[in-house]
Amino acid sequence: MSANAPAPDAAELRKRIDTTKAHPARVYDVFLGGKDNYPADREAAAMALAASPRGYLTVRHNRDFMRRAVTLATKDGIRQFLDIGTGLPTQQNVHQIAQAIAPDARVVYVDNDPVVLVHARALLTSSPEGRTDYIEADLRDPAKILEAARRTLDLDQPVALVLAAVLHFIEDNEAYPIVEQLLGALAPGSVLVLSNVSSDLNPEQVGQVTKAFKERGFAMVRRSHAQVERFVTDNGLEMLDPGVVPVHRWRPERVVDLPEAQDPDPEFVAGLDELDRTRYQRINDVTDADVSVYGVMARKP
């Protein structure tokens, strides 16, 4: 579905959505203050929060890592972005970040979930000079993704491949070959933006969180520093400073809070439950004990 294509049949798509089971995109949406989630998703998010009371900082800082990396890529001259595992639309999507700097930037979003596709129209509000497109496809089918991406992107020119918090839903025997195939189709000068839940950052609390998610129907592949680094070294990429680090330590700068956290009413916030209260928390007081996701950016020579 491109910016000029007809909207998908929302009624048909909604029939494919199982609201009785938690879904990663919707649980993520809960922690980002979104409205596109269901009781099952809130229950999973609440269990994760109970296991790690400041775990919402991981989600929010992962999102801010993506913002900083896309900003850097755009300022370095990249005008094409392939964002796989897009998730539900929220403020500061890739096209909003890139086109604020370069209005002619082109962005292709990829997701395979009907929940996301229902809301995909919100991802297609491109600037007049640029373009956005949406592909319904699974990360496990990189050939389909690349073929469809060519409708919008010129793969002979540099592309930023964004794989933020998506590879940890795919086992190693598939994940490494998938990234290799995607990068292999991209031009020199392209960059990889990647984040993944860790196995060696705060392993006890991460284990509790992933256990809670597994009980709700989706497993996560935690990866060590070395395993995340392999996505770079196996493909001969040039690691950009500071390398593989917890996302809050990747070129830290001013963090963008949710709008609700700017100047909340303390009395109102005190009346909320623990889960809703996280939307009103500032995230600048993050510590290493709060974050359990690695981030990295690397360039194809």
What's residue 108's pLDDT?
Answer: 95
Rg of the Cα trace of the chain?
Answer: 18
Which of 139, 136, 99, 102 has the alpha carbon at shortest distance from 120?
A: 136
d(CA 109, CA 84): 6
pLDDT in tens, 284-293: 889 899 999 9
**Residue 162 contacts residue 82 (beta carbons within 8 Å):** yes
Whether the bond into 242 is cis, omega within 30 of 0: yes
d(CA 45, CA 258): 18
Query: What integer is the mean pLDDT of 63-84?
Result: 96
Q: Where is pLDDT greater, at 102 or 117?
A: 102
What's residue 6's pLDDT?
Answer: 46
Query: What integer is the mean pLDDT of 88-100?
Result: 84
Burial 96-117 (b: 16+ CB within 10 A, else e): bbbbeebeebbbbbbbbbbbbb
Q: Where is pLDDT greater, at 206 or 12?
A: 206
Q: Which helix (H) or strand (E) holds 136?
A: strand 131-136
Q: Binning pLDDT at 50, 70 and 90, where does residue 12 land?
A: low
Q: Binning pLDDT at 50, 70 and 90, where does residue 138 land?
A: very high
Cβ partners under 8 Å of residue 1, min gap 6: 7, 8, 117, 120, 124, 133, 134, 135, 136
Cβ count near 135 (within 10 Å): 24
Task: Give the type of residue at 271.
Answer: G
Query: What integer is the mean pLDDT of 99-127?
Result: 84
d(CA 45, CA 59): 11
Phi, then psi, of 269 in degrees rounded to 5: -60, -40
Which of 63, 87, 79 has the alpha carbon at shortest distance from 160?
A: 79
d(CA 104, CA 174): 34
Cβ partners under 8 Å of residue 202, min gap 6: 52, 288, 289, 291, 292
d(CA 242, CA 250): 6
Record the pTM.
0.89
Cβ partners under 8 Å of residue 235, min gap 6: 179, 180, 183, 184, 192, 300
d(CA 155, CA 239): 21
Q: What is the mean pLDDT of the chain?
A: 87
